[in-house]
Amino acid sequence: MKLIVTIPALNEAPTIADVIKEIPRSIPGIDFVEVLVIDDGSRDATVAEALGAGADYVISNRVTRGLAAAFKTALQEALSRGADIIVNTDADNHYDQTRIAELVAPILANEADITIGSRLIDDLPMKAANKYGNKVANYIMQRALGLPGVDVSTGFRAYTAEAAMRLNVLSDHTYTHETLINAIDQRLRIANVPIAARHVTRPSRLIKSISSHVARAGGVILRSFLLYRPMQVYGSIGALLLFAGALPFARFAILAANGQSQGHVQSLVIGTALSFMGGQMIITGMLALAISWNRRMIEDVLFRMKSEPGPAVRERPRLRVVHTQGLGTEREGSEAYAERSRQAA
């Protein structure tokens, strides 16, 4: 059984070597442990540091494509190299890689398809806005998804090969919330593994400002719910509008019973408008649900295509760097690119 640890990285030369060296290369139940770094267009010595620390593969994007795209590339590249289990961690040393064995234990025991290394947020010395923003997101998502205690924003996760093939990342910002919603839609088993994280002092590469991150992450969550749980969204809104529309009708009925209906026709107008909008929302939800059945069939076809054995992946020399434009197009070998990274540093 092969486990591949994927590390998306952008200008992480100061920390990536520590992350790689901390990854255990011997785990009970695992035959091979490899490290795959996705360099998202770094302009520092990230690649050279990763190679020097023992990374088995480094895939470099010619331009910075963002965290979600880097994660998607990481899953595809790990699967193409025969990974049975994929562990994703961050290049800033936020997570404790020495505990990867604990993270994958439920998968090895066939108790989960995805495990979440939930941070102990209360113990982290984060800025108040970051800490309470994480706690609010956890509170909302845990209850919406029925995942008590799960840290929905952590990137320290493990996936079976099947789970990785079934997940589809559509966001261009962050993948953590979308993949959880998608995993539940795919009926994948999720296990929570609380693992304390480290405090990171450098500014976040993802969060440029709290307000912009909340807006973009909130948009991703909303789109994900509209895509994977349309009736939950449209049906809830429709039910609220129908309830609101019933109130003016009830008011008019009470007034009419007391002989005071004259001059209160506006209650009927408002009630009719709200009821009409509520009905429209429910119809929209039903149409979206019908479309989602077609999406499920397409996803099943994609999974079957990914599962089919293709041409054997040719052996790649250890410590080889593949410089890519898009996904998987080889541009230059390890020696030349590593030398340029050292010179740039």
What integer pLDDT is reported at residue 316 of this predicted model? 45
What integer pLDDT is reported at residue 8 of this predicted model? 93
Q: How confident is the model at residue 311 (pLDDT cuts 50, 70, 90)?
A: low
What integer pLDDT is reported at residue 20 of this predicted model? 96
Inform me whether the pLDDT recorded for 285 exceeds 80: yes
What integer pLDDT is reported at residue 335 of this predicted model? 45
Instruction: Kindly state the helix (H) or strand (E) to which residue 2 belongs, with its residue range.
Output: strand 2-9
Share of the chain above pLDDT 70, in %: 86
Q: How confident is the model at residue 123 (pLDDT cuts 50, 70, 90)?
A: confident
Inform me whether the pLDDT recorded for 79 exceeds 60: yes
Both tokens of 314, joined, read 């040719």
Give the closest residue to 62 by CA, choosing from 235, 236, 321: 321
What integer pLDDT is reported at residue 119 of this predicted model? 86
Q: How confident is the model at residue 81 (pLDDT cuts 50, 70, 90)?
A: very high
What integer pLDDT is reported at residue 320 of this predicted model? 44
CA 286 to CA 280: how far, in whole Å?
10
Amino acid letter at 286? M
The strand pair at 157-160 and 85-88 is best described as antiparallel
Inform me whether the pLDDT recorded for 312 exceeds 80: no
The predicted-structure confidence for 198-242, as pLDDT tens digits, reads as follows 888 776 665 556 666 667 777 777 888 888 888 888 999 999 999
Is residue 247 within 8 Å of residue 273, measured between CB atoms? Answer: no
Looking at per-residue pLDDT, the higher value among 337 and 128 belongs to: 128
